[in-house]
Structures are given as C-alpha cells and as structure tokens.
Amino acid sequence: MKKKSALLALALSGVLALTACGGKTEAPNNAGNDAAAAKTVRLGIFKNVTHAPGYIALEQGLFQKYWGDNVKIEVQAFDNGSDFSTALATDQIDLGFVGPGPATNQYIKSKNFRVISGSNNGGAVLVAGKDSGINSVKDLVGKTVAIPTKGSTNEISLRLLLEQNGLKVTTDTSGVQIIARAPADTLIAMRQKEIEATLIPEPWGTQMEQEGIGKVIVPWDQIPPNNGNYPLTILVASDKFLKENREMAKQAVKANAEAIEFIKNNPDKSYELINNRLKELSGKGMDVNLIKAALSHLNLTTDVSKEAIEEMASVSINAGYIKDVKKEELDLSQFLDLSLLDEVKQGK
C-alpha cells in the first residue's frame, strides 16, 4: 500500500512539474475563457482616417495579441455605414467600426448587434466652395450640400446644424438641398465647382482648404451634437459573436483602447502606420500632413454618449430613415452594451 502511495505521489509530482514547465505553450490573453473561441474573426472597417484606432490595432497586431496566433482575422473594408451595418446584421462580419447614424438605423430593424465601445468623437467639418459666397450656415439657403451617404452620421449632424440656424431641408431653392456623394467624388466636384458646400469627415475638409478650393465655415468642434463631442466612430459586435465569444469581444475593446493610447503617446509613428493601413484598404495612401491634421480634429475616446446617439436617432426619425417608430417610443437601452468596456476600465 505504501508502495502504491509513493508511486501515486511521484506521478502527481511529475504532472505538476510538466504543468509548471508548460508556460510557453499556454495561449496568450487571446480568445480568453470562451468554451469554443472563434478561429476566424471577420472585422469590418472604413477606408477613412476617422477609423484610426482600428488601423493602429491592426498595424500593431493588437487584435492578434489578445486573440492569439491561432485566430485568423479577415478584414473587410467598407465605403459607408449602410453597407457595413447591413453586413453586420446579416452575419457577413462579426464586429468592427462604424458611425452611429447608419448603425442605429439598422439596429431598429434587426436588433441583433450592440455598441460595445467608443473609438472616436467628432472629426467632421462644414466646408464651402471658395467662390461660393457662403460664409455662414445661413448662407446655405438655396444651395446644395453634399454628405458621404444618405442616413450617415454626417447627414444627421448637417440636419441638426441647419435646424439650429432655422433652415429647412427641401428639394427646391427655398431651403437647403442635400445630396449624397462619396468623399473622393465630393473633392472632385468641389474642384470643378459642381457643388457649393459639404459636411464631410476629415481629412477631406482640410485637403479642400489646403488646395484653396474650399474654406471651413464650421470647424469640427462646433458641429452638432455636443459641439463635436459626439460619437463618430463606434465599435460594434453582433449578438451572435457576443454570445459565443464574449471574452474575445472584450479583448477587442482592450485592443481598441490600447490603440487609442498608442496614438496619443506616439503620434508621429501613428501617422505612418495609419497611412500603411489606408494604402492596404483603399489602394492608395495619403499625405502624412493631412493625416496629422485630421487626427488633430478628432477626440479619440472609448466613451460613448447614449444621449448623443438618441438625439441623432430622433433626427433620423424626422428624416424618414427610421420608420414605424415615434420619437417618444424610441428605446435604445439595449443598443448600447458597455458592460465589457466597464470591465476593461476596471482592469478586469
């Protein structure tokens, strides 16, 4: 009996020794404690500098750092929030970065994804053509103003700006007409004087100003709501991904937060990294000075204002982008799930 006990003790000590020596084979802070962590994560992002934290998280390998080398990351680039939100709602992507305007519009329809963190506040400006005669918002009466896409966060800001100045959106010259054009097309149209003004994300406004074809008449920190301190880029995840890979979703929140700190602490290095990712996503880079100017017009933060998102949603209801919902019936309490962000902030 003593012999068997001795053998058992020896076997247990051997197991403990192997466990102690096996540190190098342990998974990093990756897929966390999920029972069946995803082997592939489909991440969506825009071809726009306002998604800088996402760019840095990819370039610095922060998602890979937290998820582990065994996880394959498939990056899908989008031109607008409507396409992104549709892809998220229809299980074509798992999580990613988008504007609150189109994301809210889609959420009202599908209710199958959540906001899990902020990434960037502000970063859009109102630009008028140099020779347009427009020097203030009130001068937009009878003019046509371009926005990147219908229902976008930029359009919502424009509608709020017009409302603040007592102007209406119309289809004739009695008010302000709104048209949708991609930022690159808007730049060309501004050069050719085909449009008179645009509310557009940076760095397009700065580029128009530097080229001498436009002038910023409302800077980023005066754009509503909250004078520029409104969510422009948020991190969202599908309900399916949150249910099956909640710890991985939290690690994504960590990667986003770490990327924000990296940009703040290493701005010069960040410009080049952002440009590298921009080249990969869009096929061409951007003057580093433009990227620098754009980042100076952003408030990079993980915080999310529920009140600002609700205000923007009310504008979308008035504009007809959110249908069959009255403003007094609007309930976005489940749209924001910031519990993971709270855990990250608490160091969990």
Whether cis (ω within 30° of 0) applies to the bond prior to 225 is: yes
pLDDT, position 37: 74
pLDDT, position 2: 41
DSSP codes joined into one string, 295-315: HTT-EE-S---HHHHHHHHHH
pLDDT, position 25: 31
Cα distance between residue 15 and residue 21, in whole Å: 10
Tokens of residue 60, six digits: 């610095």
Tokens of residue 83, six digits: 């396409």
Closest by CA position to 236, among listed 123, 87, 52: 87
φ, ψ (nearest 5 deg) of residue 114? -135, 155
Q: Is 89 helix (H, G, I), strand (E, B) or coil?
A: helix
pLDDT, position 307: 94
Cα distance between residue 199 and residue 160, in whole Å: 12
pLDDT, position 339: 97
Cα distance between residue 9 and residue 296, in whole Å: 64
Contacts of 182 (CB under 8 A, 6+ apart): 79, 80, 148, 149
Contacts of 193 (CB under 8 A, 6+ apart): 129, 131
pLDDT, position 57: 98
pLDDT, position 53: 98
Task: Write down the architecture of domain 40-122+230-345 according to CATH.
Answer: 3-Layer(aba) Sandwich (3.40)
Closest by CA position to 72, among listed 36, 45, 38, 30: 38
Burial of 10 (0-12, 13-18, 19+ CB in 10 A): exposed
pLDDT, position 27: 36
Cα distance between residue 113 and residue 126, in whole Å: 31
pLDDT, position 1: 45
Closest by CA position to 93, among listed 164, 40, 149: 40
- pLDDT averaged per 10 residues, the chain (length 348): 41 39 38 65 95 98 96 96 96 97 95 98 96 96 95 96 97 95 95 95 93 96 95 97 98 98 97 96 92 93 95 94 90 95 95
Cα distance between residue 179 and residue 171, in whole Å: 10
- Domain 124-228 fold: D-Maltodextrin-Binding Protein; domain 2 (3.40.190)
- Residue 324 is classified by DSSP as S
pLDDT, position 16: 37
pLDDT, position 34: 55
Angle formed by the axes of helices 204-211 and 288-295, to 10°?
120
Q: What separation in angstroms does the CA of 300 have from each of 60, 229, 233, 289, 297?
A: 17, 10, 9, 18, 10
**SS3 readout for 218-275:** ECHHHCCCHHHCCEEEEEEEEHHHHHHCHHHHHHHHHHHHHHHHHHHHCHHHHHHHHH
Cα distance between residue 335 and residue 66, in whole Å: 25
Whether cis (ω within 30° of 0) applies to the bond prior to 231 is: no
Within the chain, all domains assigned CATH 3.40.190.10 are found at: 40-122+230-345, 124-228
